[in-house]
Structure 1
Amino acid sequence: MALDKIQMNLLKEVANLESIPEGAYNIRSNGKLEARNCTENIEIITKKDKPGIDIIIRPGTKNERVDIPVILTQTGLNDLVYNDFYIGEGADVLVVAGCGIHNVGDKDSEHDGIHSFHVGKNARLKYIEKHYGEGDGNGARILNPTTIVEIDENGYMEMETAQIKGVDSTYRLTKAVLKDKATLVIHEKIMTHGKQTATTEFHVDLNGENSGTHVVSRSVAKGDSHQKFISCVNGNNLCNGHTECDAIIMDNGTVTAVPEITANDENASLIHEAAIGKIAGEQLIKLMTLGLTEKEAEEEIINGFLK
């Protein structure tokens, strides 16, 4: 790879990569393929009809990892990709994605990734996606991910998404359909500051018998930033669903939570929870008595909350 220091730092932030990874990977930089490697069990193919890739994981593949980070350092670039993941029957793999934007110009830089996951029967997938922005330019850093999920019988998918710093505007849309005994677990972490905005929207259809989902969002809104959390879980069979939003507001930050659950079957068991508030005074006092300043105490509480 011929990446400079700024690009390598972005890779470290979004994928924890300090060098070329082992195994399968596809690294995209400023709208173009930078590096790729396939393995015996994981094939990565460039799409012919639109920008993006197909990631094909053979049935029975175990303990393998795929890295597909995207980095942008070119101001004014609007990057759009369509990535399809085919997780073969009985596979158990880790996919690490994420996008980092470094913008020092006056034009907006944007990455929109449309990821579709086809999780096969009895397959297990862990998907990690981190968004990060930096740069002192006036141009915005914009990220709008879309995730489409289909989980076959007895399949399992766990999503960990994080947006902790530097993203001016984001709209995340996740749609999932689950078959019999399928499970989807989502853990979201977001922190906004300044005038940043973040909207996340989850739609999960529990179509299969004994299917289940657990959607949890933890967020912190600082400055004049605004966040909106929308979750819609539809129980269409004997199933279990839980959606939860916990948020801390600071300064003039605002958070809107819109949890929605719909039971379309008498055997559907669904729960939603939402809690928004400021940091408790007694928590600050307790840490300050240990020698921390108020600011240090706040940061300690936030870091623990977002773990």
Structure 2
Amino acid sequence: MANLTEVQKRLIHEVADLFGIPAGAYNFRADGGLAGRNSTENIDIVSKEDGSGIDIRIKPGTTRESVYIPVALSESGLKDTVHNDFFIGENSDVTIVAGCGIDNCGNRDSEHDGIHRFYVGRNAKVKYVEKHYGSGEGTGRRILNPVTEAYLEDGSSMEMEMVQIKGVDSTDRTTIAELKKNARLVVRERLMTHGEQHAISTYKVVLQEEGGSADIVSRSIARDRSYQKFDACIVGNAPCSGHTECDSIIMDEGTILAVPSLEAHHVDASLLHEAAIGKIAGEQLIKLMTLGLTEQQAEEEIINGFLA
């Protein structure tokens, strides 16, 4: 991490839990440029010929290996866009850690738009972690607009952990997935907005073939005057199972819009959606306050437990 400033190192720690160079494959991007890269025998990372991003190729049968591709922006007014493609070989079992941190101390907006496409081979397993974080005292906004596309072959599975807890002024997340026979997708989203922040999460998952399954769950908290929209659609084109759930806490003058939807095109498509929005229960606060916590401390404990 010698090519990174102290601010950029802090941002990468926030989004990827790294204090130094990780073992294995990695690609660090900082302020629009390459800041470090390493490939391994089984995982090859190369720049696209047009310079728009990277290709990550994972050999069939690769197991117990990880890829880190965090991004740090510390320059006010910078707009950074990358297109990254992942080719995960058959029977692999890998973890991919992405995410972006923006520190904006200026008066111009800083933005990162990451477009990630995953091609998951037969019977492969992928855990994908994407965290967003913002900091800085400037008046310029911190903007993140990620797009994730996942194409799962027969018997493959993908688990996505999407986290945004602090400091991002505007985000518009789009996730698209297509699943073949007996493929499985699990998404766990955790989101908190505050101030005047806006966050939109859109999911479109198509279960194309028999035995496909999807489970999409979002937990979110809207504080102050922030706005959230959760728009999730599962389409069943074959005998399959799908579930989408939005569980949200609204506080202060926040706004939350939940738009779960289902489309069944086969008599044996079993699809379910749930949505719940409400405030923190008074009895929860009272119970914690009887243990010696202040009302504010009790609120924070409830919030931390809800988003855990």
- TM bucket, shorter chain: over 0.9
Residues 67-101 of structure 1: per-residue CA shift (max 9 Å, x gap): 00000000000000000000000000000000000
CA distance in 1, matches of 2:84, 2:6: 27
Cα shift at 1:50: 4.3
Number of the residue aligned with 1:271 = 272
Looking at structure 2, the residues matched to 12 and 69 of structure 1 have their Cα atoms a distance apart, in angstroms, of: 9
Moved over 6 A (4+): none
Q: Which moved more, 1:46-55 or 1:267-276?
A: 46-55
Paired residue for 2:296? Answer: 295
Question: How many Å separate the matches in 2 of 1:226 and 1:181?
Answer: 36
> Share of identical aligned residues, percent?
60
Cα distance, 1:138 vs structure 2:
0.3
Q: Tell me how far apart the structure 2 counterparts of residues 236 and 204 of structure 1 sit (CA, whole Å).
A: 11
Q: Which residue of 2 aligns with 1:28?
A: 29
So what's the TM-score if we normalise by structure 2? 0.99
Write the distance in 2 (CA, Å) between the matches of 1:209 and 1:160. Answer: 25
Counterpart-to-counterpart distance in 1, 2:307 and 2:209: 32
Deviation for aligned residue 1:2: 2.2
> 2:215, 2:128 → 1: CA distance?
15
Gaps of 5+ in 2: none
AA matched with 2:159: E
- Taking the aligned partners of 2:4 and 2:61, their CA distance within structure 1 comes to 34
Calculate the aligned-residue CA RMSD, in Å: 0.5
3-state secondary structure, aligned to 2:77: coil
CA distance in 2, matches of 1:15, 1:5: 15
**1:170-249 mapped onto 2 (5 Å cutoff):** 170-249=171-250
On the 8 A contact 1:50/1:82 being kept in 2, the answer is no
**Residue-pair matches, total:** 307
Q: CA deviation at 1:208?
A: 1.2
Q: Deviations over 1:215-244 (max 9, x none)?
A: 000000000000000000001000000000
Answer whether contact 2:3 2:36 (CA < 8 A) is retained. Answer: no
**Length-normalised TM-score, structure 1:** 0.99
Whole-angstrom distance in 2 between the partners of 1:82 and 1:174: 14
Q: Does 1:262 align with 2:229?
A: no
- Displacement of 1:58 in angstroms is 0.2
Q: How far apart in 2 are the matches of 1:21 and 1:150? A: 28
Amino acid corresponding to residue 152 of structure 2 in structure 1? I
Q: Identify the residue that residue 55 of structure 1 maps to in structure 2.
A: 56
| Paired residue secondary structure (1:33) | strand
Amino acid of the structure 2 residue aligned with 1:275: A
The residue type paired with residue 111 of structure 2 is E
